[in-house]
Amino acid sequence: MGLKTKEDYFDSLRRLNLRLFMFGERIENIVDHPIVKPSANSVAATYELAQLPEHEDLLIASSHLAGERINRFTHIHHSRDDLIKKIKMLRLLGQKTATCFQRCAGMDALNTVSAVTFEIDREFGTDYHQRFNAFLSYVQKEDLVCSAAMTDPRGDRRLTPSQQKDPDSYLRVVDETANGIVIRGAKLHITGALNSHEIIVLPTRAMRPEDRDYAVACAIPSDSKGVSYIYGRQSCDTRKLEGGEIDVGNPDFGGQEALIVFDDVFVPRERVFMMGEHQFCSRVVEVFGAYHRSSYGGCKSGLGDVLIGAAALIADYQGTSQAAHIRDKLVEMTHLNETLYACGIACSAEGSELPSGGYLVDRLLANVCKLHVGRFPFEMVRLAQDIAGGLVVTLPSEKDYKHPELGQLLQKYLQGVPEIATEARVHILRLMENMTLGTGAVGYLTESLHGAGSPQAQRIMIEREANLEHKKQLARDIARVEQ
């Protein structure tokens, strides 16, 4: 097939038989559930935009395996231009959805496994890279969505995986047969889990020899026997059950995370890409971290564009757009947002070729990018809420707005600039609430802070990549000192 349409994607989700629990109940119709559907719409946008000629350059790539046109989300980067187009694509999708569109982690996982399997094979004479390419060919041909399952529960974080009181605190191999392996455990915070066709399991940390049962990477269909999903709640999520539109804030799109439980799940040998090679777990984490941390320079700047636009509109609607302090706040928001994008472009432009032939972003700049992402959106949200005023959190409900008696009062007392409809102001305020406090804040603020690792993880990598000895020598050379 190569390139799915939006409709093809929804049809493919309906053919899945996922075991999902939400609010203590088993959910049968996942695709059309009012809480899940907006997140599926966000993923569908990655298919819909790929069909438009004006976005073809960003969303379509050529497979290095088959030479055919594929969705860039299934592509292995083979140049700096690929890395740059990825960032531009993510910004575009952030602008179109104002939320997490959920295919980034899977794309970054594909590129990580492509790179590391090649390196493992070179070291140990395994055939993981060949297995992975067969899997990748399938993903590209069918234009599938992959979720990246990396983060384990981790239990007592003072201890390594093999030292845990509960051995299932990290996902592990519990059995091996001639045909494959059996895995048990859980993965947390998995973005787009319910909207994915495949799960790519990755180790979450460096491992020791005694942790080799936990050193596993593999891929399984998302509706495999033994896989269960527990939906992650988001602030204001039940507003989607009320049947309205205004109070939701972002009526068409949303993000989604879930806890995935793997209860003795069988993985065919051809879908196993690492099993016991503990020496390469840290390599997986570092490569995935670099790819995914650079991604945030694209998607979060796209969301930032929407938030800046909403803040500017509210200023127009309230008659404050020409106030010097409002204009200065919008300038500051723009400055912060463009800095994120610049970091994403910079680490891509400074990317280099891997032994596998793929391209990896500059790891130092990627971690600088993500460290900024953990800060700047929070300041942008503060400025946006400052511009919007208190109504962003005290606005009456949509039912009050549509009430035959109360609606007239709200039309009267929520009016801003006379020539702007009160309803327009209410819609934008709710969008701002969604992005800064509600379900949309998960894909903007929470992901900005914790996605792809917390800020301390980036600081650790920045220290490793800083090359202080080189900088010391530069200073010695200029100052003409030997020590």
In order, the DSSP letters of 387-423 are HH-THHHHPPPHHHHHSTTHHHHHHHHT--STTS-HH
**Distance separating alpha carbons of residues 231 and 164, to the nearest angstrom:** 26
Any domain includes 85: yes
Any domain includes 36: yes
Helix axes 363-373 and 376-388, enclosed angle (nearest 10): 30
Active site residue 100: yes
Strand pairing class (227-231; 20-22): parallel
- CB contact at 8 A, 322 and 60: no
Same domain flag for 65 and 213? yes
Q: What is the per-residue pLDDT for 1?
A: 59
Active site residue 191: yes
pLDDT-flagged residues of the chain (< 70): 1
Any domain includes 481: no
> For residue 329, what are the contacts with CB-CB under 8 A and spacing of at least 6?
311, 383, 386, 387
From 218, 236, 281, 299, the catalytic residue: 299
From 104, 281, 343, 369, the catalytic residue: 104
From 296, 341, 401, 444, the catalytic residue: 296
From 191, 204, 422, 439, the catalytic residue: 191
- CB contact at 8 A, 172 and 160: no
Q: Which of 262, 280, 298 is the last residue of a domain?
A: 280
Q: What is the CATH number of the domain that holds 98?
A: 2.40.110.10
Active site residue 218: no
From 100, 236, 281, 347, the catalytic residue: 100
Same domain flag for 153 and 233? yes
**Range(s) of the domain holding residue 342:** 283-473
E strands within 276-417?
A: 352-353, 359-360
Q: Which of 280, 314, 342 is the last residue of a domain?
A: 280
Question: pTM for the complete prediction?
Answer: 0.96
Structurally, how many domains does the chain consist of?
2
Active site residue 236: no
Active site residue 343: no
Same domain flag for 221 and 129? yes
Same domain flag for 335 and 229? no
- CB contact at 8 A, 360 and 354: yes
From 74, 292, 341, 343, the catalytic residue: 292
Same domain flag for 30 and 164? yes
Same domain flag for 337 and 428? yes
Same domain flag for 78 and 161? yes
Amino acid 380 reads M
Q: Which of 227, 256, 280 is the last residue of a domain?
A: 280
From 48, 198, 433, 447, the catalytic residue: 447
